[in-house]
Amino acid sequence: MNRIKVVSDVTDLVPVLRAVNSRAKLELFERLSKDWVTEREVEKEFGKGALKLLSYFDKMKLVDTRWVSGPPSKEPEKSYHTYYSTVAVNVTATISEFSETLSIATMADKEYASEEKRVIENISGEGSKFFSEVADAVGITPTRLKGIVKRSDKLDYHGHRIELRRKSEDSSSK
């Protein structure tokens, strides 16, 4: 089945660009586009670090998951496959919003970690906070904040709130 990822918000470009910004991510993503692959198979083929990539793809809603049964003595395993086969981009944004989005998507990991940490520190005590409160407290634009959250494997955006991602959602925490 062919599904199309429609990008209509400029910050939705962040996960799409980050999904294939390294050889490891690209190879894993290509493998997942061919068949359903279990976590065990991913770890065997790509190494332990690939489980974190799976978790990132899952958070970004770029992969579909299902449980598969093994031999009777084995427990069911979670397997993954790419959710989308095509991307359609229809974005209208100011040059500033577009630039900020690309800046977040292409930012060096160390610099990004510093920005992400500021956001996490701002919501840590409460576990979640309204989006506009975080943007004001950290002193960044809403576009930049949305890009940071969409790139993060530690933060989620739910409704009008930013919250720390729950461990149960992270398949690599097993």
Nearest to 80 by CA among 98, 96, 57, 100: 57
pLDDT of residue 153: 86
Return d(Cα 19, Cα 105) in angstroms, integer. 10
Provide the whole-model pTM: 0.79
Domain with CATH 1.10.10.10 in the chain: 4-89, 106-173
Q: Is the pLDDT of residue 120 over 70?
A: yes
pLDDT digits (tens, 9 = 90+) for 8-30: 999 999 988 998 888 988 999 99
Q: Which of 67-81, 103-117, 158-172 has the highest mean pLDDT?
A: 103-117
Residues 42/172, Cβ–Cβ less than 8 Å: no
CATH architecture, range 4-89: Orthogonal Bundle (1.10)
Nearest to 148 by CA among 169, 122, 174: 122
Structure tokens at 38: 């279990």
Which position has the higher pLDDT, 22 or 166? 22
Nearest to 32 by CA among 72, 75, 66: 66
Return d(Cα 144, Cα 29) in angstroms, integer. 26
The CATH number of the structural domain formed by 106-173 is: 1.10.10.10
Residues 111/151, Cβ–Cβ less than 8 Å: no
Structure tokens at 133: 């409160």
pLDDT digits (tens, 9 = 90+) for 55-109: 888 888 889 999 988 766 678 888 999 988 888 999 999 999 999 999 999 999 9
